[in-house]
Structure 1
Amino acid sequence: MQKLSISTLAALVAASMTLPVTASAADMNYKVTDKPLELTIHLHTKKYVYNDDWPVEKRAQELTNVSLKNVASMATNKSEEAFNLLIASGDLPDIVGGSSLKENVNQYGPQGAFLPLNDLIEEHAPNLKAFFDANKDILNAISAADGNLYFIPYVPDGKFARAYFIRQDWLKAVGKETPQNIDELHDVLVAFRDGDPNGNGKKDEIPLFARQWEELIRLVTLWDGRVSGSDTYHDFYVQDGEIRHGYSEEGYKVGISNLAKWYAEGLIDPEVFTRGSRAREYLLSNDLGGMTHDWFASTSSYNDSVSEKIPEFSFKAFIPPEGISGKRVEANRRTKVKPEGWAISYTNEHPVETIKYFDFWFTEEGRNLSNFGIEGVHYDLVDGKATFKPEILNAGTPINTQMWQVGAQVQRGFYQDYEYERQWSNKHALEGIALYEAGDYLLEPYMGVAFVEDEKKVYDKYWPSIKTYMLEMQQAWILGTSDVNEDWDKYQSQLERLGYSKVMKVMESAYERQYGS
């Protein structure tokens, strides 16, 4: 393949921005090298390609004396395709980063394409060393099958992601309280269906809806089922140190059977599999939707955006209802580590300087820079804490969009600060998070495995078709074109024919190797 050409990127923001020198930065020496050093980088994600002119990158260059030059192709918007083209070319830049990097780096690192970072961190990266010493589970999760660490990950912050939300004004209209268990929840949804809570004289209410149909399937937890142990849909999960998959288990069968009944009763959006990502906007803005399971901050924002159109509108988070075993379960949580990040390629002639540069992003200054942008421009230090300026919070553009435009919250190897999100979450979101923080609803997280070559061959051979079959049957059962109770034995037999036991065997082997000790 031909060598990838350097792309000319359109700047997201004006490149001629004057950045103030901050006292905190001036008091510290973050310089990686006395002489300016330019390194090449391929960083390609679903939302953006690395931009040399991001103000955050300019500031990092100012502080470290290291600049990065983009070589990621703009010819594709698919990160996996961009990575494959890069690997096939054999001409790797100094740094490789971007979406879903973990699996790729852990595959090609042991083959020599990327440098192991263990000794480099031990000798030259005190902030990274301190972070991994304090977070052994993250270190285990991102290490390759040979035990080496080949990339520095994007590490999210915070615990809670999604919650149950319900229309409090609708509850008042139908004379119901917030449901506390599965039976009360069913009764409330029936009342939403039949009680005309929007008051328009039509039976047009959608009691239960979801932007992502997978959030409907998550409700099998009310019947002791499981759907995923990570923030990736349809993933494996861990229970008592054992790797499992929910879609083969009894609790899942019972849950699907009951969700199919709810669907047949008209309690679930009839278009739940097809309405798509605009479902929340459409159903709430038109006073049609009653309950969902979705993100705290964005879902709570409808209490502000819809209030003019629907004065009594009140869509509040509530704690998980008790399931059939009396347990309250929130099966979705923020993952402890993402597969995004960056790695040092074998062609890099400055690995020590590069790991020191990576280490900078785990200093207090680097963490603030990667989370909040430029001090004095986007945030100020208030009582020692990074605090967005009012003009950022009140700009009318989502904070995450503003940050992406200047190079913050970019999926390089960095440690996110949840205060970044808390500051633009409204009072309704914060009240909901406080409810969940007061309880014990989260389940043990599954943080992934790294396969050796033979394990990966088995997984790649069998798992895609198994997963496809699982999802096909899942939708057929919910929609009522097939019956899970009648099909269950045949379903289990087909999973076995497709190689389910073989996949679970390599999953168990990989999990034990990675976490057993």
Structure 2
Amino acid sequence: MSKKIISLLLVLVLLLAPMMGCSKQDADSSDTQSGSTSGSSGSSDASAAEKSGDSLVTEPGVLPIVTKPVTLTIGLVESSNVTDYETNYYTKYLKEKTGIDLDFYFFPSSETSQKLELMVTANEELPDIIMYVDLSDAAKASYGKQGVFIPLNEYMDKYAYFWKQTYDKYCSDTEKKVIETLSKSPDGNIYGFPFMDVDPTDSQVESIYINHVWLEKLGLKVPTTTDELYEVLAAFRDKDPNGNGKKDELPLVGYNTIDVRGDLIFILMNSFIYYNYSNYGRFNVENGKLSVPYITEDYREGLRYIHKLYKEGLIAPISFTQDYKQLKALADRPKNEDTIVGALAHHPWSGSQGWTYNDENYGKLVEYTAIGPLKGPKGVAWSPYKLVGIDFTTYITKDCEYPEVAFRLLDFMADETTSLISRRGEPGVDWEYVEGDVEAHYSKLGFKGVYRVLNDIWAEPEQNKNWHAQLQFLPASLFAGFAKRDFANELEKKRDALFLDGFYRRYGQYPDEIVTNLVYTDEELNEISEISTTITNYENEARVLFVTGEMDIEKDWDSYVQQIKDLGLDKWLSVAQQAYTRMNSK
């Protein structure tokens, strides 16, 4: 899939941003047309209305949605951030605007898909709508084929009034293409309602941050190549940059993870070859033909370089065993303690991993600056792209007596104001629309100010303003249209600047053609399910063993490549190629 097709958030949306200067609707403007609502005599009135031929629902775009009382049951995983779903501001807003009463069924937070499978197998009655339950493409297609989930194609064509308004106003061409490509199962049906919650900065998070205080003390510059990084890390190891007379410096540290944030192999390998995310099969593509990087000589050269850093004590061994909490404890120290970390891979803005900014005793973050993608020996300097914020995880089930009403509710949830309430909370209290030419926080990406956040409830551990789930329709230009924010203190401002600097340095640094999600048929999945899992696990394990020296890059390389092939790589590539070609020929 080409970059112009898949760069959902960060490329073509810039071309559309100047068109987004439309006037903003009030918090109550979802009442596009006026309708009437009757008393609450129970759902039986709705059944009677259908039998008598009376219209149960108003015309698309007219609120309230129903003319008779209707109750829908919503099935979702209960969020610990939500105080009470029944009294929740968002719940009451939906009820008031649509006239639909809502009951809740809560799935377990772990093994959610297994619980659903058990309910289907036991023929238990399902909630009318299952929301924000992430299923594999195969499971989604299977439930559709069995009739557990109803197809939404016809409903999208006939009733997607509010969704279409937001889509037309805010979606970039690339976002529209991604929805078209990924929303449909192989049978051509849409089973998951297309929601969006697109923070553009989530697409390229992985970065290294380096101690500029140490660099200045040693007379060094921020490295831009792999060779320069080696020289800098060696100086951090040998020249006592923290000045305490101890050999306690850790030149470069990450944490034990695959592909995200603290994965040093993932970040550094992209200076040698485009090293894609493992959940995308790590597939590369050139002129429409798929390949994998991890059996190439460029990949091998990358392993040699990372092994050299490890062998010479420039990468801390704990990078492959510790978790993010242990990394945070090493780097995010009180000001009166010695700094011991020279460079690290993590997410500085993350609530769980980021630097402490609300305690005056802390402040190590001011010592660091971001590194962009490093150029390797062949000039390669990639930053992998991750498709984020697109959700087809909400389904109308076979047990829904009023599927048109259920769809109309989902459509209203995709309204601009309703979506902002779902993400940002109560209008006038937690956020407000802005008028005129207001600078957006992400203005450097070309976005315009649409609204101002007054109280960031999404970050609060407990609140009762929304359902704290990605059940809104916020394309990048709407999500990222929040006005330039104020900060609680200088440390918070620095933390934000540090994160954005890392993002901007990596922004757009990926090939013109890349592979993200592939949608397989049942038959294709049956062919490759075991193969893909086995190969992925083996490659992820072997790369660490090569770096640490437990596998020899020279002596064990040929047997490693042969093992990958023996596990069925050619078969996996053939099936993946088939899926990729099918998806991109539409």
TM-score, normalising length: structure 1:
0.84
Asked if residue 274 in structure 1 is aligned to residue 274 in structure 2, the reply is no
1:142 corresponds in structure 2 to: 183
How much is the aligned-residue C-alpha RMSD, in angstroms? Answer: 3.2
Q: Following TM superposition, by how much is the alpha carbon of 1:257 offset from its aligned partner in structure 2, in angstroms? A: 2.1
* Counterpart Cα distance in 2 of 1:312 and 1:23: 42
| Deviation sequence 1:148-205 (CA, Å, 0-9, x none) | 2110244232433313321111212222111111111111111122222222222122
Q: Residue type of the partner of 1:64?
A: T
1:473 corresponds in structure 2 to: 542
| Deviation sequence 1:302-355 (CA, Å, 0-9, x none) | 27458744579422223222222224321244x244456301112222222222
Counterpart secondary structure, 2:554: helix
2:340 corresponds in structure 1 to: 288
2:552 corresponds in structure 1 to: 483
| Deviation sequence 1:452-473 (CA, Å, 0-9, x none) | 1211111223222222222221
Q: Residue type of the partner of 1:364?
A: E
For residues 443-454 of structure 1, the aligned pairs below 5 Å read: 443=511, 444-454=513-523
Q: Describe the shift of the 1:139–1:404 C-alpha distance in structure 2 as closer, same or farther (beyond 3 A).
A: farther
For residues 102-141 of structure 1, the aligned pairs below 5 Å read: 102-103=136-137, 104-129=139-164, 131=167, 134=173, 135-141=176-182
Asked if residue 95 in structure 1 is aligned to residue 129 in structure 2, the reply is yes
* Counterpart Cα distance in 2 of 1:176 and 1:348: 65
For residues 48-59 of structure 1, the aligned pairs below 5 Å read: 51-59=85-93
Q: Describe the shift of the 1:292–1:156 C-alpha distance in structure 2 as closer, same or farther (beyond 3 A).
A: farther
Larger mean CA deviation between 480-489 and 323-332 belongs to 323-332
Q: Residue type of the partner of 2:104?
A: N
Larger mean CA deviation between 232-241 and 205-214 belongs to 232-241
1:388 corresponds in structure 2 to: 453
2:221 corresponds in structure 1 to: 177
Larger mean CA deviation between 462-471 and 38-47 belongs to 38-47
2:474 corresponds in structure 1 to: 415
* Counterpart Cα distance in 2 of 1:229 and 1:238: 13
Asked if residue 441 in structure 1 is aligned to residue 509 in structure 2, the reply is yes
Asked if residue 72 in structure 1 is aligned to residue 113 in structure 2, the reply is no
Larger mean CA deviation between 450-459 and 76-85 belongs to 76-85
Q: Following TM superposition, by how much is the alpha carbon of 1:420 offset from its aligned partner in structure 2, in angstroms? A: 6.1
1:5 corresponds in structure 2 to: none
* Counterpart Cα distance in 2 of 1:376 and 1:280: 39
Asked if residue 31 in structure 1 is aligned to residue 64 in structure 2, the reply is yes
1:255 corresponds in structure 2 to: 302
* Counterpart Cα distance in 2 of 1:501 and 1:153: 34
Q: Following TM superposition, by how much is the alpha carbon of 1:288 offset from its aligned partner in structure 2, in angstroms? A: 2.2
Selected match of 2:236 from 177, 192, 199 = 192
* Counterpart Cα distance in 1 of 2:461 and 2:79: 17
Is contact 2:458-2:468 (8 Å) kept?
A: no
Selected match of 1:245 from 281, 286, 292 = 292
Counterpart secondary structure, 1:426: helix
* Counterpart Cα distance in 2 of 1:330 and 1:277: 21
* Counterpart Cα distance in 1 of 2:80 and 2:304: 38
Q: Describe the shift of the 1:442–1:366 C-alpha distance in structure 2 as closer, same or farther (beyond 3 A).
A: farther
Selected match of 2:350 from 288, 298, 323 = 298
Q: Residue type of the partner of 1:39?
A: L
Q: Residue type of the partner of 2:76?
A: L
Q: Describe the shift of the 1:139–1:189 C-alpha distance in structure 2 as closer, same or farther (beyond 3 A).
A: same
Q: Residue type of the partner of 1:319?
A: G
Selected match of 2:417 from 365, 381, 386 = 365
Q: Following TM superposition, by how much is the alpha carbon of 1:247 offset from its aligned partner in structure 2, in angstroms? A: 2.7
Q: Residue type of the partner of 1:441?
A: Q
Larger mean CA deviation between 429-438 and 178-187 belongs to 429-438
Q: Describe the shift of the 1:362–1:23 C-alpha distance in structure 2 as closer, same or farther (beyond 3 A).
A: closer
Counterpart secondary structure, 1:494: helix
Larger radius of gyration: 2
Is contact 2:269-2:302 (8 Å) kept?
A: yes
Q: Describe the shift of the 1:35–1:269 C-alpha distance in structure 2 as closer, same or farther (beyond 3 A).
A: farther
Selected match of 2:76 from 43, 50, 66 = 43
* Counterpart Cα distance in 2 of 1:172 and 1:144: 55
Is contact 2:209-2:344 (8 Å) kept?
A: yes
1:208 corresponds in structure 2 to: 252
2:94 corresponds in structure 1 to: 60
* Counterpart Cα distance in 1 of 2:548 and 2:502: 34
Count of residues paired in the alignment? 488
Selected match of 2:378 from 325, 345, 357 = 325
